[in-house]
Chain A
Amino acid sequence: MSALNIKKGSTRHSAYNLRPNFSDVEERHTITVLVENEPGVLARVIGLFAGRGYNIDSLTVAEVDHTGHLSRITIVTTGTPQVIEQIKAQLGRIVPVHEVTDLTVAGPFVERELAIVKVVSDGEKRVEALRLADIFRAKVVDSTLGSFIFELTGSPDKIDAFADLMRPLGLTKIARTGVAALLRGD
């Protein structure tokens, strides 16, 4: 018996290229994770993403229930459908994790990010920056004769759009919080 009756080139798929049955299209998902707020819990979550090679596009965390010591972590990630499924299952087996919700699947959901943007300019550019900030409903939270700091809340896309517009008008620094998100309705 020959064990080698295989066509040349038919073994290009390695065992690490595992997903013939799944879509290869990467999807963006917003996942919220309710965790016990104990030391190291964020390291567990981040370590899982780093150790298994998953992406983190954005991550926010804060205690949301002070009496129950529960924190909500909101993670925006991209991956193929199978990777997204794995991420949720792997998050679910972390011992202090109470609940994993994929808002992109469970949706519709509200997604917000806060940014503060410093714009240094003068003359016409300064006026234009202020005018655009008004259109975006950004608030001026600090101002000098040569600069503004705007505060802006919205979807990541809106913040990207605002930053793109401000760049030629003197944007020097931007700080973003990452996404916080909740399901709509009850």
Chain B
Amino acid sequence: MTREMTGAKMVVQALKDQGVDTVFGYPGGAVLPIYDEIFLQNDIRHILVRHEQGAVHAAEGYARSTGKPGVVLVTSGPGATNAVTGLTDALLDSIPLVVLTGQVPTFMIGSDAFQEADTVGITRPCTKHNWLVKDTDKLAATIHEAFHVATSGRPGPVLIDVPKDVQFATGTYQPAKPSASHYQPPVKGDMEEITELVAAIEAAERPVFYTGGGVINSGPGASQLLRELVEATGFPITSTLMGLGAYPASGKQWLGMLGMHGLYEANMAMHDCDLMINIGARFDDRITGRIDAFSPNSTKAHIDIDPSSINKVIRVDIPIVGDVGHVLEDILKVWKSRGRKTNTEALAKWQAQIDDWRKVKCLTYTPSATTIKPQYALERLEALTKGMDRYITTEVGQHQMWAAQFLGFEDPNRWMTSGGLGTMGYGTPASIGVQIAHPDALVVNVAGEASWLMNMQEMGTATQYRLPVKQFILNNERLGMVRQWQELLHGERYSHSWSEALPDFVKLAEAFGAKGIICSDSKDLDDAIMEMINHDGPVIFDCLVEKHENCFPMIPSGKAHNEMLLGDADTQGAIQAGGAVLV
């Protein structure tokens, strides 16, 4: 069935056909025809944000917490350029987004028209793919293809630039059908490589699973298969920041997060293992530390849907290109058919070694009777929200690492954080996107005061849509991570790393129509957190914490996994000139 309609109507119809229920956006001159069509229907809910960057992060929060692509609608020029940070964030963290931008009419493109920007040019390196649609007849098919590209293979953000005259013109609507394009990334892994990995699993003496966001992106089924494989083999498992929740934090084999601020036992296991099984992670520099000292004696297997991830940073011995879910299914099948063998004797020794490492208790911090330690605040948040239908977003910095260390995630899609790009200002809009998708859940944005100020205008969105998001701000009046690096690397010269002239967060909350809570005493903390949780509406929680706390453990730049700093006593001269140039 094909139908004649305007381009603007086509946009709405195509979104409906793609099963979209929510669009995050901000109107402007070049998208008015589409906004008119949104006005005339009730199937798609439009969430009006306060800044286009907020729209993209909200869509990311929606996408990460549902597994569905997030959809964004913004205008030309500044609308599109404001979306660039969000697009880059989604590209680095492989989040499926479909972003629609208005454009000046086709006959004005190239004339430096009002609110004209070369949107496809600007966003080419920060999208998985993008299109400028100059013909209304091609608009619907392009939108359908955009959803196909955003969600197949390694997911990512795509952008469709729609000139205003294309929105007004009438054309033929092409209904959604399975994509006929040549872009069909394979999902099944090579059986020979899989068999080789199974043989390595059977023989391994010191194995470790190193999992990442690819497990989450592969869907809940992949997390289930991962859990089955981990339980059945008894191998220990660690995860990147992006992969938290794929394996439950309460699981017996769980080592905690690895990497720069990962747990001692996780990093030591990575360094000393003889078989590393990377599932949907990408050997990011936050993970590997010094490359030439990275897990020197292990056979490395790497499962990734993106062939360009293989051998990009670390040379692997068993590369498997495919979707995590499909590959895990085949690994289990082959391993079971060969008699479910593992090297139990060696594994017991390995387990004993890991138990020894655990005894280091690397997350120990010095408690304080007077001030709230940020770690303590997160321990209490964890204790008081455990078992709840809970989603966590974060901003970027120390609080983000502490949240990853001290909060436990039992399920995938419950943890939304900016990993690859490290975007301060991500968490508030992301929490809004999550709450839109899960209206009855507890959504907490663990924030630092500096990050939080970067997109605080989105509190207006929260009050407008009565979204009870909890902004849990660990306020140290510092750019904590910058301050920590300046302390370790730059002779304690704290250049511009303090938050001067902070607003009164309680008054700010009231100004936005939200509830404000301030807490500076650890004795009051539990009650204050409960007050936040029980309040039926958005809350800004100003948690005044220790100002000079450093985030440990830490692998200093340019160091190996077995050269972790466990606390302040270790830091003297820890980073040398070679490491100082790194970020």
Q: B-contacting residues of A (Cβ < 8 Å)?
A: 1-4, 6, 11-18, 20-22, 36, 39-40, 43-44, 47, 51, 82, 85-86, 89-90, 92-93, 95-96, 98
Query: Mask for B113-145, Cβ within 8 A of A = 1, else 0?
Result: 000000011001100111010000000000000
Taking A11-B559, A40-B132, A86-B312 as known contacts, 17 extra A-B pairs with beta carbons closer than 8 A to each other, sorted by chain A number, are A1-B360, A2-B570, A3-B564, A3-B566, A11-B576, A12-B578, A14-B290, A14-B558, A14-B578, A15-B558, A18-B313, A36-B182, A40-B120, A86-B311, A89-B310, A89-B312, A92-B308
Q: Is the CB of B564 within 8 A of A86?
A: no
Which of A12, A18, A95 interacts with B183 by CB under 8 Å? Answer: A95
B285 CB within 8 Å of chain A: yes
Q: Is the CB of A44 within 8 A of B124?
A: yes
Which of B128, B182, B290, B570 interacts with A15 by CB under 8 Å? Answer: B290
B393 CB within 8 Å of chain A: no
Measured CA separation A90–B575 after assembly (Å): 33
Cβ contacts under 8 Å, B369 to chain A: none
Q: Is the CB of A15 within 8 A of B125?
A: no
B306 CB within 8 Å of chain A: yes
Interface of A is mostly: loop
Q: Is the CB of A17 within 8 A of B308?
A: no
Measured CA separation A95–B154 after assembly (Å): 11
**Which residue of A has the minimal Cβ distance to B360?**
A1
Q: Is the CB of A15 within 8 A of B307?
A: no
How many Å from the CB of A145 to the closest CB on chain B?
A: 45
Q: Is the CB of A20 within 8 A of B292?
A: yes
Q: A-contacting residues of B (Cβ < 8 Å)?
A: 120-121, 124-125, 128-130, 132, 149, 153-154, 182-183, 285, 288-292, 306-308, 310-313, 315, 360, 557-559, 563-566, 570, 573-574, 576, 578-579, 581-582
Measured CA separation A75–B558 after assembly (Å): 35
Cβ contacts under 8 Å, B308 to chain A: 86, 89-90, 92-93
The residue among B130, B292, B566, B570 with the most chain A CB atoms within 10 A of its own CB is: B292
Can you spell out 16 A-B residue pairs with CB atoms less than 8 angstroms apart? A1-B360, A3-B565, A11-B579, A13-B291, A14-B558, A14-B578, A14-B579, A14-B582, A22-B315, A47-B124, A85-B311, A86-B312, A90-B308, A92-B308, A93-B307, A95-B128
Known contacts A13-B291, A15-B288, A43-B124; A82 and B311 CB within 8 A of each other: yes
Q: Is the CB of B291 within 8 A of A15?
A: yes
Measured CA separation A36–B121 after assembly (Å): 18
How many Å from the CB of B169 to the closest CB on chain A?
A: 19
How many Å from the CB of A84 to the closest CB on chain B?
A: 11
Cβ contacts under 8 Å, B125 to chain A: 47, 51
Cβ contacts under 8 Å, B306 to chain A: 93
Measured CA separation A92–B153 after assembly (Å): 12
Q: Is the CB of B563 within 8 A of A13?
A: no
Q: Is the CB of B563 within 8 A of A15?
A: no
Known contacts A11-B579, A13-B291, A89-B307; A4 and B182 CB within 8 A of each other: no
Measured CA separation A95–B182 after assembly (Å): 9
Cβ contacts under 8 Å, A89 to chain B: 307-308, 310, 312
How many Å from the CB of B266 to the closest CB on chain A?
A: 16
**Which residue of B has the minimal Cβ distance to A87?**
B308
Q: Is the CB of A4 within 8 A of B128?
A: no
Measured CA separation A93–B127 after assembly (Å): 12
Please list the 10 inter-chain residue pairs (A to B) with the smallest Cβ-Cβ separation, ordered nearest first.
A89-B308, A95-B129, A20-B292, A21-B315, A3-B570, A11-B558, A15-B285, A11-B578, A89-B307, A13-B292
How many Å from the CB of B265 to the closest CB on chain A?
A: 13
How many Å from the CB of A49 to the closest CB on chain B?
A: 12
Cβ contacts under 8 Å, A93 to chain B: 153-154, 306-308
Measured CA separation A125–B257 after assembly (Å): 74
Q: Is the CB of A95 within 8 A of B149?
A: yes
Cβ contacts under 8 Å, A17 to chain B: 291
Measured CA separation A14–B558 after assembly (Å): 6
Measured CA separation A51–B574 after assembly (Å): 33
Known contacts A2-B570, A21-B315, A92-B308; A11 and B290 CB within 8 A of each other: yes
**Which residue of B has the minimal Cβ distance to A18?**
B291
Q: Is the CB of A16 within 8 A of B582?
A: yes
Measured CA separation A43–B122 after assembly (Å): 11
How many Å from the CB of B156 to the closest CB on chain A?
A: 10
Q: Is the CB of A13 within 8 A of B307?
A: no
Cβ contacts under 8 Å, B310 to chain A: 89
Cβ contacts under 8 Å, B120 to chain A: 40
**Which residue of B has the minimal Cβ distance to A92?**
B307
Q: Is the CB of A43 within 8 A of B578?
A: no
How many Å from the CB of B162 to the closest CB on chain A?
A: 15
Cβ contacts under 8 Å, A22 to chain B: 315
Measured CA separation A3–B171 after assembly (Å): 67
Q: Is the CB of A13 within 8 A of B290?
A: yes
Measured CA separation A17–B557 after assembly (Å): 13
Measured CA separation A125–B42 after assembly (Å): 82
Q: Is the CB of A14 within 8 A of B581?
A: yes
Cβ contacts under 8 Å, A15 to chain B: 285, 288-291, 557-558, 582
**Which residue of A has the minimal Cβ distance to B553?**
A3
Cβ contacts under 8 Å, B360 to chain A: 1
Cβ contacts under 8 Å, B573 to chain A: 4
Measured CA separation A179–B192 after assembly (Å): 38
**Which residue of A has the minimal Cβ distance to B289?**
A15
The residue among A2, A16, A17, A95 with the most chain B CB atoms within 10 A of its own CB is: A95
**Which residue of B has the minimal Cβ distance to A94?**
B129
Cβ contacts under 8 Å, A6 to chain B: 559, 563
How many Å from the CB of B344 to the closest CB on chain A?
A: 30
**Which residue of A has the minimal Cβ distance to B128?**
A95
How many Å from the CB of A48 to the closest CB on chain B?
A: 8
Measured CA separation A82–B360 after assembly (Å): 39
Cβ contacts under 8 Å, B292 to chain A: 13, 20
How many Å from the CB of B485 to the closest CB on chain A?
A: 15
Cβ contacts under 8 Å, A1 to chain B: 360, 566
